[in-house]
Structure 1
Amino acid sequence: MATLESHLTARHIQNHSEATSTEPHWGYVDRDVPCTSDAGSCEYLDLVYGAHDIGMLYSGVLWCTIGGILFAWAVARRAWPSRKTEDVVTVDSEKGANGLGRASRLRRTIASGTRSYLLPDSVRAIFGRTTRLQVLILAALAGYLLIWSFVGIVYKTWITPVKKSPGLYNTRTSLGPWADRVGILAYALTPLSIMLASRESLLSLLTGVPYQSFNFLHRWLGYIIVIQSAVHTIGWTVIEVRLYQPQPTTAITWITQTYMIWGIVAMILILLLFGLSTPWGIRLTGYETFRKAHYVLAMVYIGACWGHWAQLSCFLYPSLLLWGLDRAIRLVRSGLIHYQYLPDGSMGFKAAHAKLTHFADSEHGDVVRMDFAHNQDAWKIGQHFYLCFTESSIWQSHPFTPLNLPEVKNGLVAHSYILRAKKGETKKIAELAVKKLSEKSTATTPLILSGPYGESIMESLTPDANVLCIAGGTGITYVLPVLLSLIQQPCTRDRKIELIWAVRRKDDIRWVQSELDSIRKASKTHCVTVNVYVTREHSPSPSLKDGKTSSQDASVKEVGSTSSASPSVCGGSWEVQRIGDVDHNTHPDLKAKVNSFVDNTVRGRTVVYASGPGGMISDLRTIVAACNSAAKVWKGNERHDVALTCDDRLEW
């Protein structure tokens, strides 16, 4: 600290011996008063300290704004929760033509209008598969920061003499105070960046928005901090290397200071964080390497920032605390899930053991189904768990959505998952399943669970809402629980329910054979329409490697061989169509499918549940947005109130 103050004293031409007192400034070194240097230097010092104090004030305003938004959001979420009964169509003379109260109709009108404009992707070449709403929030934040970066600074230049070098002059400008302001904001944003990246998210707790929805803002806020850090560094480099005299003495003295060495370390670390977080960096190193390196580099970066400017540690304490709490809560949650009765009757840590079923697919990657039961509370439909495969690696965990209903039976909750093995841990699990199944008829592997994470995707689904489920490949796990839940509820008159599932091969149906059997049976009573589209069939279906009997295989063929619709009494149907082959990978026309579904609803709004490749999700955002019309919803045409709920964890 003494070295830092000494350096700043020399740079700011402060004279300790002539000062009568010191003036404290939060986030900066104390100032010697009164100023006994030349008039230009004293005026410059007034600007430096004044602009810094205003910058700290603006940082407080920034966090007050964030806190105010979160507080208002949390209060509104609890004061006006989603109520299913409020939106059910009724006949009442005091309600509008569409049977909704004015408040409900206004809310639906606003929601429909918002979706029509903000749901589609925005500037995909820059932001990737991200909605306009996310980009709008980012633009608002960036604009807010841009304002605070420039206001409250007097822009002026002073030419001041160098006391120890007659004939030489320093050029002092507003570049220094401005570079300091940008640096303050970079520090102030660090806790927010940690909050946006946390799995045990405080933001999710307050807003109800799943933690993964903040990933986009975390990534781009990181880019903003990189830009701020670079601008801060470049600004002071220009000042110390070019504008201050004599040279190169001033530059050498500046760069060899301890606080500057830590500043260089921090800049290198944040550039590494930036490089490794780009799509190119992730592809080069692998996702798991990126993730682990990101954790370590981020914490070392915060430490380097502390070494560079400890006076701003008020922003670094919360960052470290939030990061530590996130990791600690993860461990506690996993420990609570696995704290079970052991075979000897004592209590201790007990892993879950999943039965593995292997489905061979040499061209696109084998698929493995995992089934097990565990003693725990039921989760909510739409939530997911992180699974750690201990026989492969205890240092990695991957997110998976259960494909079954969360039901507690005899104190146990069944879990079922499917994964496609491409590379890394999933490929190791597929190889492990093949190895074990070759040795015996069944195979199991121990798992460690963490979760559940995310929010319920059916909480606000009203009984009159029509449901369209769209899935691609293993994305079926996200929509299956929705359908399984609906067929257990009382049938609602005129309600439409449909599943559109695109698979590469007809044999892929066997991943979720029993669940589809249940839906097919319910299609007669709940008017469920199932359309399975085979997009790349090119060879006979391989045999199932889990010791199942031939009668079960026959059942699968019966389910998958339907080539024409078989309508039920209430209008439901079951159909499997081959629309492509190995040379022509054709996908269902989602625009036509969604528009046809919406146009043929009898009454009520429509909710589309979707999971699959990123391209499919992007297309659906545009399609669903076009189906919405605020004007038509306000006039009573509910079919133009179409919502999209999708699995947006595209990087998984």
Structure 2
Amino acid sequence: MSFHHRFEARGHIQNLTAAKTLEPHWGYADRALPCTNDPGSCAYLDLVYSSHDRGMLYTGILWATIVGMLFIWALWRQCNQPHTTPGSNRPHLAGFRKLKTTCAVGVRRYLLPDGNRWLFGRTTRLQISVLAALAAYLLVFTFVGITYQTWITPVSGKQGLYNTRSSIGPWADRIGVLAYALTPLSVMLSNRESFLSVMTGLPYQSFNFLHRWLGYIIVVQGSLHTIGWCIVELRLYQPQPTVGIEWITQTYMIWGIVAMILLLLILLLSTPWGIRLTGYETFRKLHYVLAMVYIGACWGHWAQLKCFMIPSLIFWCIDRAARLVRTAILHYHPLEDRGLLGFSSADAHITRFPDEDYGDVLRLDLENNQEPWNIGQHYFLCFPQTGIWQSHPFTPLNAPEVVKGKVKHTYIIRAKSGETKKLADRAAAGSMFMPVILSGGYGESIEQGLYSDTNIICIAGGTGIAYVLPLLLSLVKQIPSSDRKIDLVWVMRHTSNVEWIRPELDILRAARKALNLRIRMVATRDVSSANSSHDNVLRSTQEDEKQIATSQQRFSALGDLCDCAFDVPLKLGGGASDLSRRPDLRKLVTGFLESTTSGPTRIFTSGPGGMLSELREIVAACNSPLKIWNGQERFDVDLVYDDRLEW
């Protein structure tokens, strides 16, 4: 690389021909010394380079903090691994463990509920607090370490013309450096094969919120960086438009413009409007491609900061390669007809449950030669006959068990639109089998930390039953504990939905007494007419009770699956046009806690976003750090939920 090319981005400021030495600065162009410009320009260059050096130091501190926190978290997880298995006796809280539990309960009480839903969506205060801490760090280090001053300097060879050199340039550079430094973190937060999950134990979907908002921050930083330098080069430097044209036509600036256009395009396509316009799968593919091209454009814009771009590309490539390896491990088996190793998809048997109002429900049963997954994990399913470019996450509703080298998978799928609708149409046309390509399992085990005296309540809405059912089926195979209470509450639209999982419910029904299990079901749409009018809103409570009794009789006719005499507290759902009944979750949870005598409680749930948000508030209110410190374990209530965005 030639001497002058290395200074292309700063050649209009420094006197390159008079330079005797080059002073290296990491992430920036080397500085020409001694400075032979006018005193104002030399003072400005002092500010530019000192500000940049501090900015690089701050990015180092940022990444050292992130790596340090991950290391401490991983060490804490390792030291905090339970030394007892589920079903063994839980020792009395004492010492360090008591302090740890009290702190965890305190965090749940104040940080578990949703934050500002209008701005952040259905996100816990804990996630928002982490985002606020990161944003505060970035805000502080965007401004500190910069001397805010202005110099009026003469334009060389242009008598009567002056440049205005100010702190806008160094400030804009600082923002650009921070945006580059955040790029690898943004990629890590989006990875399905997540290094962050390995370190923290959190499933990859837990980082979606931070990935999205970190992207917003990078957009703001990139925009301010661009605006800052446009002010400098198109207004403060003279003569115009000569300086502006020379600046905007440089190669590094062309790549900067490309990077900014790509960044704004990624932002627009990531909005709800953009996703609806392109479709989710198209958005996802475009997001991958545009993000990688954006990283390349950033490299072209400022190659001195490729130290941040190279890790971004490496993390992305590792993620994609690991996904292929997972799929290969699941599907490359000895071929039965030839005895050779080859790729073979799994054949799934389809059972269709028609539903004209809300979309058909499909039950898929398949077997695959593989290792069993952990309870709570999910798989991405691809259906080659409907499209090889799409895969969707689903949780197996059965407990994993190896039989003759094969593990059975069972899934229930609500077919609304897209690929699942194509699958339902094939089933309606008579297709009984469908090849499936699996990738997974993803997520963490939800069985960890369950002791013999841990009370369990499972609350599921619709097809969310697939998330909680494997846990209950796993408990059936373990040694029963008389110290534990277990409740299953399933909220469905119609009593006929029971047929989706009839074999699994039969297993639970047979084990109810041994598990101390109570099964309770609510059919919300069987309580009221689908065609409600204003007059129906005013019907009497007596008529409502008759309809509830009718639904109770329907459940009783389904093999006595529900032995709860319909004691689920109900309340009118929706508005005046919605007379369906839904559980009163607050009464449901508090009633369960009051019926327990000892031990903590774990609530497992999967369902609509409204249900999850309500349960977060309820669980937070049930936690009491003071009572835990005083030895009352029953006020240790945790919520374990399926937080994938499909809901």
Whether the TM-score (by the shorter chain) exceeds 0.5 is yes
Q: CA deviation at 1:487?
A: 2.2
Among 372, 376, 379, the alignment partner of 1:378 is 372
Q: CA deviation at 1:87?
A: 11
Aligned residue runs from structure 1 range 118-137, under 5 A: 118-137=111-130
Partner of 2:620: 625
Q: Distance in 2 between matches of 1:9 and 1:564?
A: 79
Among 511, 521, 531, the alignment partner of 1:532 is 521
Please tell me whether residue 487 in structure 1 is matched to residue 482 in structure 2: no
Partner of 1:259: 252
Q: CA deviation at 1:650?
A: 2.8
| CA gap 1:262/1:196 in 2 versus in 1, 3 angstroms | same
Any idea what the Cα deviations from partners look like across 1:283-336, whole Å, max 9, x if unmatched? 222111110110000001001111111111010001001101100111111011
Q: What secondary structure does 2:284 align onto?
A: helix
Q: Distance in 2 between matches of 1:199 and 1:567?
A: 38
Any idea what the Cα deviations from partners look like across 1:367-413, whole Å, max 9, x if unmatched? 00000111100000000111110111111111110000011111110
Among 383, 392, 406, the alignment partner of 1:389 is 383
Partner of 1:611: 606
Please tell me whether residue 447 in structure 1 is matched to residue 436 in structure 2: yes
Please tell me whether residue 469 in structure 1 is matched to residue 458 in structure 2: yes
| CA gap 1:335/1:566 in 2 versus in 1, 3 angstroms | closer
Partner of 2:194: 201
| CA gap 1:19/1:561 in 2 versus in 1, 3 angstroms | closer
Does the 8 Å CA contact 2:552/2:566 hold for their aligned counterparts? no
Among 418, 421, 434, the alignment partner of 1:424 is 418
Q: Distance in 1 between matches of 2:218 and 2:450?
A: 39
Partner of 1:550: none
Q: CA deviation at 1:90?
A: 6.6
Any idea what the Cα deviations from partners look like across 1:563-583, whole Å, max 9, x if unmatched? 899899xxx747598988995
Q: Distance in 2 between matches of 1:473 and 1:61?
A: 47
Code of the aligned partner of 1:291: R
Q: What secondary structure does 1:235 align onto?
A: helix
Partner of 2:540: none
Any idea what the Cα deviations from partners look like across 1:253-312, whole Å, max 9, x if unmatched? 111111111111100100111111122221222111110110000001001111111111
Any idea what the Cα deviations from partners look like across 1:116-168, whole Å, max 9, x if unmatched? 00100000101100000000000011111112211111111110000121111
Does the 8 Å CA contact 2:385/2:435 hold for their aligned counterparts? yes
Q: What secondary structure does 1:154 align onto?
A: coil
Does the 8 Å CA contact 1:533/1:576 hold for their aligned counterparts? no
Partner of 1:305: 298
| CA gap 1:83/1:573 in 2 versus in 1, 3 angstroms | farther
Does the 8 Å CA contact 1:563/1:575 hold for their aligned counterparts? no
Q: What secondary structure does 1:436 align onto?
A: coil
Among 487, 492, 499, the alignment partner of 1:510 is 499
Q: Distance in 1 between matches of 2:133 and 2:282?
A: 33
Any idea what the Cα deviations from partners look like across 1:546-569, whole Å, max 9, x if unmatched? xxxxxxxxxxx999531899899x
Q: What secondary structure does 1:422 align onto?
A: coil
Q: Distance in 2 between matches of 1:326 and 1:565?
A: 47
Q: Distance in 2 between matches of 1:618 and 1:224?
A: 26
Any idea what the Cα deviations from partners look like across 1:417-452, whole Å, max 9, x if unmatched? 011011111101111111124xxxxx0100111111
Q: Distance in 1 between matches of 2:497 and 2:528?
A: 12
Partner of 1:645: 640
179-188 or 142-151, which deviates more: 142-151
336-345 or 229-238, which deviates more: 336-345
Among 330, 340, 345, the alignment partner of 1:346 is 340
Partner of 2:430: 436
Q: CA deviation at 1:467?
A: 0.2
Q: Distance in 2 between matches of 1:483 and 1:393?
A: 34
Q: Distance in 1 between matches of 2:468 and 2:494?
A: 19
Code of the aligned partner of 1:525: A
Does the 8 Å CA contact 1:564/1:575 hold for their aligned counterparts? no
114-123 or 56-65, which deviates more: 56-65
Partner of 2:56: 56
Code of the aligned partner of 1:212: Q
Q: Distance in 1 between matches of 2:557 and 2:84?
A: 38
Partner of 2:71: 71
Does the 8 Å CA contact 2:87/2:478 hold for their aligned counterparts? no
Q: Distance in 2 between matches of 1:317 and 1:530?
A: 54
Q: CA deviation at 1:206?
A: 1.1
Q: Distance in 2 between matches of 1:494 and 1:324?
A: 49
Partner of 2:21: 21
Q: Distance in 1 between matches of 2:423 and 2:429?
A: 10
Partner of 1:547: none
Among 268, 275, 278, the alignment partner of 1:282 is 275
Q: Distance in 2 between matches of 1:392 and 1:331?
A: 20
Q: Distance in 1 between matches of 2:163 and 2:604?
A: 65
Segments of 4+ moved more than 6 angstroms: 85-91, 563-568, 576-582
Q: Distance in 1 between matches of 2:145 and 2:578?
A: 64
Q: Distance in 1 between matches of 2:599 and 2:554?
A: 32
Work out the percentage of aligned pairs sharing the same amino acid. Answer: 57
Instruction: Identify unmatched segments of 5+ residues in structure 1.
Output: 92-98, 438-442, 541-556
Q: Distance in 1 between matches of 2:208 and 2:293?
A: 21
Partner of 2:47: 47
Code of the aligned partner of 1:446: P
Partner of 2:176: 183
Partner of 2:316: 323
Partner of 1:546: none
Please tell me whether residue 314 in structure 1 is matched to residue 312 in structure 2: no
Q: Distance in 2 between matches of 1:395 and 1:607?
A: 38
| CA gap 1:118/1:84 in 2 versus in 1, 3 angstroms | farther
Q: CA deviation at 1:482?
A: 1.0
Code of the aligned partner of 1:32: A
Code of the aligned partner of 2:9: L
Q: Distance in 2 between matches of 1:15 and 1:524?
A: 87
Q: Distance in 2 between matches of 1:232 and 1:436?
A: 59
Code of the aligned partner of 1:649: R
Q: Distance in 2 between matches of 1:574 and 1:457?
A: 30
Q: Distance in 2 between matches of 1:360 and 1:71?
A: 50
Q: Distance in 1 between matches of 2:497 and 2:146?
A: 64
Size of the aligned set, in residue pairs, is 621
Please tell me whether residue 498 in structure 1 is matched to residue 487 in structure 2: yes
Q: What secondary structure does 2:66 align onto?
A: helix
| CA gap 1:564/1:397 in 2 versus in 1, 3 angstroms | closer
Does the 8 Å CA contact 1:496/1:527 hold for their aligned counterparts? yes
Q: CA deviation at 1:585?
A: 2.3
Aligned residue runs from structure 1 range 360-379, under 5 A: 360-379=354-373
| CA gap 1:40/1:90 in 2 versus in 1, 3 angstroms | closer
Among 148, 154, 158, the alignment partner of 1:165 is 158
Q: Distance in 1 between matches of 2:90 and 2:261?
A: 63
Does the 8 Å CA contact 1:528/1:573 hold for their aligned counterparts? no
Does the 8 Å CA contact 1:368/1:418 hold for their aligned counterparts? yes
Q: Distance in 2 between matches of 1:203 and 1:90?
A: 30
Code of the aligned partner of 1:411: G
Partner of 1:273: 266
Q: Distance in 1 between matches of 2:578 and 2:229?
A: 60
Instruction: Identify unmatched segments of 5+ residues in structure 2.
Output: 530-550
Does the 8 Å CA contact 1:23/1:33 hold for their aligned counterparts? yes
| CA gap 1:205/1:495 in 2 versus in 1, 3 angstroms | same
Q: Distance in 2 between matches of 1:323 and 1:192?
A: 11
Q: Distance in 2 between matches of 1:435 and 1:181?
A: 61
Q: What secondary structure does 1:8 align onto?
A: coil
Partner of 1:553: none
Q: Distance in 2 between matches of 1:225 and 1:404?
A: 42
Partner of 1:105: 98
Q: What secondary structure does 2:446 align onto?
A: coil
